[in-house]
Structure 1
Amino acid sequence: MGVPASKVAKVRVRGPLAPFVPAFRAALKEAGYTPLSIVNELRMLSDFSRWLQEHAFGATDVTAARIHDFVAARHSAGHVVAYPPRLFATITGILVDRGVIEVEHEEPLVGSPVDALLATFEAFLLTERGLAACTAAAYVLRARRFLARQAPGGDLVGLAARDVTDAIRAEC
């Protein structure tokens, strides 16, 4: 007998990015993502695909500016899920490889200085520290909460080591 399939692992992606899900899943598997991490990435891709569909955009309309608009809309609607840049890099890479879109020659847009800082922090956690994507995402979420409380405008000048220590103790 085989292992029963979990319904949690079934993610239905609707919208213009749905045809690219098999390639997206394969790219994540090839990159060494665990099954649960793949499910989480697919859920985020599903959010983006539905948003594109709701705004009458197709796969050919995926650009850095459109991604920025999506992330900004999610944040302004109160969603706390941090959409990692690698999610968008993977899907745009697939769209470029398939000839759906062309490579953009400009830097991808980042929402704010805090978003840029958190993206750098996440990249550090994934590449330098070798953390799993879900663990890095949890750390980034905590860091986002810390920055929202301690440095709402993104100004880190007044922060001291004591502030970080106190925040970690509060989390515990």
Structure 2
Amino acid sequence: LTFVTSGVDINGCISSYFEGRINLHCYISCTKIIFYCWIRSDLGSEYVLLYRNDQLDLENQHVMFKDRVDLQDRQMKDGNVSLVLKNVTTDDGGAYECRIIQTETNSRRKTIIIINLIVTSPGNRDGPAGLIGLVVPLVILLPLVIIVVYRNHEKLSGLCSKSSQSSEEPPPSQQPLTDQNRPPEQ
């Protein structure tokens, strides 16, 4: 689900598993990048990842992201400034923003994309919706299956007892003609 509002791409939710790896995608169309960063508003003035002066600036990086983030493409080919986040923890959940400054004359930071990351806890690989999606159909379908099997079993039992009773008498077409079963004469 993606919404575009005044040049900012607001991407819905992205999920990641605990201790997994996730790529937060951001592409820019300008050729000369003076500055770009990945931020989370709850981190204050520190960055998730900061690029300026043609290199990554690790001094202003939030301690929580040290040695856990990198660029998907260090050469930033085709404007790819996507972030790779490794060893994801539940603390990594939140809204991530990719921001840029395109020229030296315009120092205004422009938000390119906002991505909300949801981290699934270690004991819940499918998330709450996955568990509910599995349990609810089982609770509903199991009694129905039991009823169908029970009814089919009773029908088969009834057919077996009827067929054993009827096997003692031959069908009417094979019975010898007697006065009792002879058709009436006209």
TM-score normalised by length of structure 2: 0.23
Structure showing the higher helix proportion among its residues = 1
Q: Which of these two proteins has the greater Rg computed from alpha carbons?
A: 2
Q: TM-score, normalised by structure 1?
A: 0.25
Task: Tell me: higher relative CO, structure 1 or 2? Use CA pairs within 8 A at least 6 residues apart.
Answer: 2
